[in-house]
Amino acid sequence: MKQFLRLIATVCVAGLVCGFTAPKDDVEKRVEKLLAKMTLEEKIGQMNQLSYSREQPMVSAAKEGKVGSILNLVDPAVINRIQRAAVEESRLGIPVLFSRDVIHGFKTIFPIPLGLAASFDPAMVEAGARVAAEEATAAGIRWTFSPMLDIARDPRWGRVAEGSGEDPYLDSRMAEAMVRGYQTDNLADPTAMAACVKHFVGYGAAEGGRDYNSTNIPPTLMHNVYLPPFEAAVKAGAQTAMTSFNDNDGIPATGNRYMLRDVLRESWGFDGFVVTDWNSAGEMVVHGFAEDNKDAGRIALNAGVDMDMTTGAFINYIPELIEEGKVKMEDVDNAVRNILRVKFRLGLFENPYVEEGLTEKEFYAPDHLEIAKKSAEESVILLQNNNNVLPLKGVKRLVVAGPLADAPYDQLGTWIFDGDQKHTVTPLAALRDMYGKDVEIIYEPGVKYVRSNDTADIPAAVAATKSADAVVVFVGEEARLSGEAHSLANIDLLGAQSQLLAELKATGKPVVAVVMAGRPMTIGKDLANCDAMLYSFHPGTMGGPAIADLLFGKAVPSGKTPMSFLRVVGQVPLYYNHNMGGRPTNRPIRLLADLPVEQNQTSVGGTSNYLDVEHTPLFPFGYGLSYTTFEYSNIKLDKEVYGMNDVIRVEFDLANTGSYDATEVAQLYTRDLVGSVARPVRELKKFDRITLKAGETKHIVFEVPVSELAFYNSELVKAVEPGKFQLWVAGDSNSGKPLSFEVK
């Protein structure tokens, strides 16, 4: 209610003062007017972002106009005191922009972004981002460092948790949804917060999956795969962008003039501002790309960075750099313009303060929790369901086991600065609360925490299971095993978790594994030790109730894999939208075990495979089962030949042939058979969540403009190349029969 009143009051004020969204010209006039009054010191103050340490130094910096933005402060009272110093005591009264990593929720925590991507539900993701913005702005945060749009093809990299996985199309749709949810179409609304697309760019391709490592992405791949989600987010109105830590082909992102000026600003028309990542200007010295922080400031500004996060490279050195003619005043002015533009758009000048005294209860509002539950439900992927063990039926005694059954902190996942584990509803708590009246719930964790090798408690879990109807085992990763700087070279289940599953399976009772993790783990061998497996990327505050309903069939799984699942980590990188290569493996190969000794050189066929493991993924991109079954039929294209300006229209029937009402994520893929550069074997071009009653069939039409078949060629020119194509409509990236068409 308080939030509602706050909204009404501030919207009215903003509406009176500047109209709902200030017209573009007005903002530009205000920017110019203010800029004309600013001294160089005041300008470089705006270009400086500080991390909150203690109040007094921040108040002084604000008063002296030495700070444009502060990160990591969420106390409204302190925010207001610093803001008062900026607005009422500094010479020009420019408000400070308070920022935070609000990555998958502020207080109410949603599934990690990789889980959100598994929902293939941009509308739900937008609703979640809206909740995050409402809660964060209530604490005074008007700028979030989200969405993270780094394409990731390597699950060893801990930060796969923070992105949308391996596919640029899915990532783009998630990017737009988050930007819309955070920003709304009226940035001046006090519940809107500016989005920040990150990490620009290539960060997800860290060599060896080691965070912060160098990347080597060639130009066409960069333009066809890594850049599109950023472009989509910019087109959706994202106000800020953050440079990444990595160097690509030797150029650190914070000093990459081509990316920041030619691509982001010139080609995409971005008019917000660019911030460095934490000390990524200073780290150019470590990269061996800048001599010292002063040189780093020169490189970053010349490359097109507007605001420096924590290095101090701008505030400390720009005056000297200008005097020495190493940077231009014009570039400083433009940087300040970009920053002020966003501050004006956010309505910060009209509405710089935040209401104090909001209570925790208002953060975890019932509708927020409801959206968090729905998001968690949609993000869970059913990977295996032998003998239709799920949903649980006729179960009177249920054993709940595993280290993550009741781990309120860990199920929240990475990057939860503000989410409070005391609001987490764990699966154990939810099962007891929601199903405990009819089902006896026996909790025997077996293994205390994810990394524990202690097997002493396994016998108790086994004994309990022997006298129960089924066991649900919650395994996976602690929150801290993924996220920034938390990469792993081994992505199997850790500790005694696999042993726990194996010993429970040996009881002969139905075993359901629920994996909660920050990445797709190598769970191949564990599949043999469970009848069913639900894969839940860390599901957030309401993960427990969502999973409880899925287990008992009140909800039906609909999530699909946003990244390929590996059989073994040695397959990295493995992604569905790879090129064909010249010698693809297209028939079963003989693996080590059946390879006779002293075979000749060509004995395994000379194709692109491994001798010791299938080259295919354990589960392909876009994969996920349901409690029901779906059938695609009558898939038809409206034409055989399309012109460049046509829209491809695909019709098909989707039938729910099982006995549960459920939702299927229908996916459309294409392949460009011959290109001036070789094209991927499949590319996702469209998807939709389609809900069908048991037994129902729907006639569906998907439309894809021919222009969306365009790609960047080796000259970096984007165009549709005429020729032959294939198209699939299917439930994952590895199914379906291709239709053929031509573009002329």
Provide, rounded to whole angstroms, the least separation between the CB of residue 137 and ligand NOJ: 18
Binders of ligand NOJ in range 465-494 (CB under 6 A): 484
Cβ-based nearer residue to ligand NOJ, 107 or 671: 107
Distance of alpha carbon 255 from alpha carbon 659, whole angstroms: 57
Provide, rounded to whole angstroms, the least separation between the CB of residue 686 and ligand NOJ: 30
* Residue 432 backbone zone (phi > 0: left; psi -120 to 50: alpha; other: beta): alpha
| Neighbouring-strand partners of residue 535 | 381, 515
Provide, rounded to whole angstroms, the least separation between the CB of residue 360 and ligand NOJ: 23
Cβ-based nearer residue to ligand NOJ, 101 or 683: 101
Q: Which tokens is 289 given? A: 């790309």
What type of residue is 577?
N
- Site track 276-305 with ligand NOJ (rule: CB under 6 A), x = hit: -xx---------------------------
Provide, rounded to whole angstroms, the least separation between the CB of residue 243 and ligand NOJ: 10
Query: DSSP of 464-517, one letter per residue?
Result: HHHTSSEEEEEEE--GGGSSTT---S--SPPTTHHHHHHHHHTTTS-EEEEEEE
Provide, rounded to whole angstroms, the least separation between the CB of residue 99 and ligand NOJ: 8
Cβ-based nearer residue to ligand NOJ, 129 or 439: 129
The count of chain residues that interact with ligand NOJ, using the rule CB under 6 A, is 6
Residue nearest to ligand NOJ (CB): 145
Q: Are 247 and 214 in contact (CB under 8 A)?
A: yes
| Neighbouring-strand partners of residue 51 | 71
What type of residue is 189?
D
Binders of ligand NOJ in range 183-202 (CB under 6 A): 198
Provide, rounded to whole angstroms, the least separation between the CB of residue 108 and ligand NOJ: 20
Cβ-based nearer residue to ligand NOJ, 215 or 734: 215
Question: What are the residue numbers of the active site?
Answer: 277
Provide, rounded to whole angstroms, the least separation between the CB of residue 510 and ligand NOJ: 42
* Residue 385 Cα distances to 470, 527, 627, angstroms: 14, 10, 8
Catalogue the long-range contacts made by 291-299 (C-beta closer than 8 Å, 24 or more residues apart): 293/317, 294/320, 294/321, 296/254, 296/255, 297/321, 297/327, 298/326, 298/327, 299/254, 299/255
Provide, rounded to whole angstroms, the least separation between the CB of residue 70 and ligand NOJ: 12
Backbone CA torsion sign across 236, 241, 246, 248: positive
Cβ-based nearer residue to ligand NOJ, 240 or 426: 240
Tokens 């893929």 identify what position? 669
Distance of alpha carbon 515 from alpha carbon 37, whole angstroms: 58
Cβ-based nearer residue to ligand NOJ, 484 or 492: 484
The answer to the question of residue 349 lying near ligand NOJ (CB under 6 A) is no
Cβ-based nearer residue to ligand NOJ, 245 or 474: 245
Query: DSSP of 512-568, one letter per residue?
Result: EEEEEESS----HHHHTT-SEEEEEE---TTHHHHHHHHHHTSS------SSPBPSS
Cβ-based nearer residue to ligand NOJ, 243 or 670: 243
- Site track 121-160 with ligand NOJ (rule: CB under 6 A), x = hit: ------------------------x---------------
Q: Which tokens is 99 given? A: 């920022």
* Residue 289 Cα distances to 64, 680, 685, angstroms: 32, 34, 39
For residue 438, how many other CB atoms are within 10 A of its CB? Answer: 9
Cβ-based nearer residue to ligand NOJ, 196 or 380: 196
Between β-strands 308-309 and 381-385, what pairing exists: parallel, antiparallel or unpaired?
unpaired
Binders of ligand NOJ in range 78-117 (CB under 6 A): 101
Between β-strands 97-100 and 69-71, what pairing exists: parallel, antiparallel or unpaired?
parallel
Cβ-based nearer residue to ligand NOJ, 49 or 577: 49
Q: Buried (b) or exposed (e) across 532-565, using 16+ Cβ within 10 A?
A: bbbbbbbbbbbbbbbbbbbbbeebbbbbbbbbbb
Going along 30-96, which residue ranges are E strands?
Answer: 48-51, 69-71
Binders of ligand NOJ in range 239-268 (CB under 6 A): none
Q: Are 99 and 417 in contact (CB under 8 A)?
A: no
Provide, rounded to whole angstroms, the least separation between the CB of residue 339 and ligand NOJ: 17
The three-class DSSP label of residue 434 is helix
Provide, rounded to whole angstroms, the least separation between the CB of residue 164 and ligand NOJ: 15
Helix axes 329-345, 313-323, angle to 10 degrees: 140
What type of residue is 387?
N
Residue 397 makes CB contacts below 8 A (sequence gap 6+) with 439, 440, 442, 467, 468, 469
Cβ-based nearer residue to ligand NOJ, 103 or 654: 103
Binders of ligand NOJ in range 627-656 (CB under 6 A): none
Provide, rounded to whole angstroms, the least separation between the CB of residue 449 and ligand NOJ: 26
The three-class DSSP label of residue 574 is coil
Q: Which residues of this chain interact with ligand NOJ, rule CB under 6 A?
A: 101, 145, 198, 277-278, 484
